[in-house]
């Protein structure tokens, strides 16, 4: 008779989930080839490119979709048999399997409205309410738009030009990564195969060749891509039992991206134009859900002062995988602002409850913020390891504790009255 401990069962089931998800690469499956942008430029952005289900069929998935769904179904059943239907970690692992199955379904419906149905299920929509609140993600987007649009970077401090070549950025980041990731080899490297200026993998940060960066951008890449995205992956990789924390299904996206934005703010490395870029993705997705097509969204970004290249890049992020005719976008990019609010509220609630020890476990691996209390409980039981890589702001919680204490009171202040008071002073003296 083979006797298996609870830890062994969790580790084995976790490893099966990690192995099963390996061939699923969402962004690779929905990316556009160069022909789409070439066609847009040739038509001077007046003709809609043909990006539909037939287009995506030219780029088949790198795995058998039906067999992959069946594989996750088998793991689901084995979780119930092995752990019991009421086990707390079992429920979390089952949620991961269900999400990965939905991801496969989403990719099977590339170029159709059904893609958006699954995207909303997995990532949410700008029209979703924040938990426990009456405000939507779209409401946040419009509020930030009205504030950030009034701010000019040059009025806030020294102008920081984008004059650092990608090769220099790679060198600078590698120096910083060596200092931060003392137990692992983490590298930045040049890449010509990514759409964004940078992209993080498990142990590498890719920097797009040919792009130019400012000193502030390098600082942001260090904390956003390095400390958060690579850092949480490595913390998951170093788990002895909780191997599932090394990989995150879509339910983890908002927590991951929100945590990265929080680090940008807590380290005072972000700036209004950067925040606008992130926020304008919410507005773009909202417009696309309401029926705006690809050409209309490109024009929206043009009116907001974006370069031609950025207009196309921003619009492509919204429409990849969905329908370029409008109504069915890819909603992942609401994760940045949604996750910021969710993580911030969690930290504030943990501080108010006298449980600051929970907050560093946001970095334990790829997880959703609502998983943290369970993760911490399993840490005390020896199933989850504490995060190996933790930014100084979270390894010493004194500053955050005071910040969140004041933040809790600020919610009680009547901002409308305060604003009216200072508006009168501004009008009088400025």
What integer pLDDT is reported at residue 154 of this predicted model? 66
Q: Residue 276 pLDDT more than 60?
A: yes
User: Can you tell me the distance from the alpha carbon of 187 to that of 393, in angstroms, rounded to the nearest whole number?
Assistant: 23
- Closest by CA position to 186, among listed 162, 205, 158: 205
Q: Does 1 reside within a domain?
A: no
- Residue carrying structure tokens 């003709």: 47
CATH no. for residue 343? 1.10.390
Q: Does 430 reside within a domain?
A: no
CB 79 within 8 A of CB 93: yes
Q: Does 11 reside within a domain?
A: no
pLDDT digits (tens, 9 = 90+) for 312-370: 999 999 999 999 999 999 999 999 999 999 999 999 999 999 999 999 999 999 999 99
Transcribe 291-338 into DSSP letters: T--HHHHHHHHHHTT--HHHHHHHHHHHHTTSBTTTTB---GGGHHHH
pLDDT digits (tens, 9 = 90+) for 18-46: 999 999 999 999 999 999 999 999 999 99
Average pLDDT over residues 234-242: 97
pTM of the model: 0.92
Q: Residue 152 pLDDT more than 80?
A: no
User: Can you tell me the distance from the alpha carbon of 284 to that of 292, in angstroms, rounded to the nearest whole number?
Assistant: 9
Q: Residue 297 pLDDT more than 70?
A: yes
Q: Does 94 reside within a domain?
A: no
Long-range contacts of 174-177 (CB under 8 A, 24+ apart): 176/222, 176/226, 177/205, 177/222, 177/226, 177/230
Average pLDDT over residues 259-264: 96
Cβ burial 93-105 (10 Å sphere, 16+ → b, else e): bbebbebbbbbbb
Average pLDDT over residues 58-84: 97
Q: Residue 430 pLDDT more than 90?
A: no
What integer pLDDT is reported at residue 194 of this predicted model? 78
What integer pLDDT is reported at residue 419 of this predicted model? 86
Average pLDDT over residues 289-317: 95
Q: Residue 412 pLDDT more than 90?
A: no
Poorest-confidence range of 57-71, 116-130, 187-201? 187-201
Q: Beta 212-213 vs 198-200: how paired, if at all?
A: unpaired
Q: Does 255 reside within a domain?
A: yes
Q: Does 135 reside within a domain?
A: yes
Average pLDDT over residues 67-80: 98
What integer pLDDT is reported at residue 387 of this predicted model? 97
Q: Does 119 reside within a domain?
A: no
Q: Does 75 reside within a domain?
A: no
What integer pLDDT is reported at residue 1 of this predicted model? 41
Both tokens assigned to 243:
């191997």
What integer pLDDT is reported at residue 376 of this predicted model? 98
What is the span of the domain harbouring residue 207?
124-423
Average pLDDT over residues 222-250: 97
Beta bridge partners of 328: 323
Poorest-confidence range of 119-128, 159-168, 371-380? 159-168
Residues in the chain: 430
Q: How many distinct structural domains can be found in the chain?
A: 1
């Amino acid at each position: 008779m083979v006797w298996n401990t609870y830890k062994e069962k969790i580790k084995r089931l976790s490893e099966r989930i990690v192995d099963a998800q390996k061939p699923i690469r969402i962004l690779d499956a929905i990316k556009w080839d160069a022909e789409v942008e070439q066609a847009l430029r040739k038509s001077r952005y007046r003709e809609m490119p043909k990006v539909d289900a037939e287009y995506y069929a030219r780029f088949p998935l790198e795995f058998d979709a039906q067999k992959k769904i069946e594989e996750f179904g088998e793991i689901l059943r084995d979780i119930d048999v092995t752990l019991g239907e009421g086990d707390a970690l079992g429920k979390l692992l089952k949620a991961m399997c269900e999400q990965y199955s939905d991801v496969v379904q989403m990719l099977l419906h590339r170029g159709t409205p059904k893609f958006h149905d699954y995207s909303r299920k997995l990532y949410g929509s700008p029209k979703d309410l924040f938990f426990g609140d009456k405000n939507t993600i779209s409401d946040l987007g419009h509020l930030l738009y009205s504030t950030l649009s009034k701010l000019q970077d040059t009025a806030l401090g020294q102008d920081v030009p984008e004059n650092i070549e990608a090769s220099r950025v790679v060198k600078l980041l590698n120096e910083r990564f060596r200092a931060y990731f003392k137990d692992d080899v983490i590298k930045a490297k040049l890449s010509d195969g990514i759409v964004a200026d940078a992209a993080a993998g498990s142990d590498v940060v890719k920097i797009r060749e040919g792009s130019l960066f400012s000193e502030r951008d390098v600082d942001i890449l260090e904390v956003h891509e390095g400390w958060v995205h690579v850092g949480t992956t490595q913390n998951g990789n170093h788990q002895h039992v909780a191997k599932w924390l090394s990989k995150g299904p879509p339910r983890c996206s908002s927590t991951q991206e929100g945590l990265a934005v929080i680090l940008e703010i807590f380290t005072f490395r972000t700036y209004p134009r950067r925040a606008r870029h992130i926020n304008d993705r919410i507005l773009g997705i909202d417009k696309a859900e309401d029926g705006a097509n690809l050409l209309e969204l490109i024009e929206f970004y043009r009116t907001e002062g974006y370069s031609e290249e950025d207009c196309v890049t921003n619009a492509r992020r919204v429409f990849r995988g969905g329908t370029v005719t409008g109504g069915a976008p890819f909603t992942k990019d609401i994760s940045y602002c949604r996750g910021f609010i969710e993580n911030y509220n969690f930290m504030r609630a943990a501080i108010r409850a006298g449980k600051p020890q929970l907050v560093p476990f946001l970095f334990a691996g790829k997880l959703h913020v609502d998983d943290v209390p369970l993760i911490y409980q399993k840490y005390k039981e020896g199933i989850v390891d504490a995060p190996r890589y933790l930014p100084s702001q979270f390894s010493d919680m004194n500053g955050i504790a005071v910040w969140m204490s004041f933040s809790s009171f600020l919610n009680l202040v009547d901002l409308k009255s305060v604003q009216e008071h200072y508006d009168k002073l501004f009008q009088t003296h400025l």
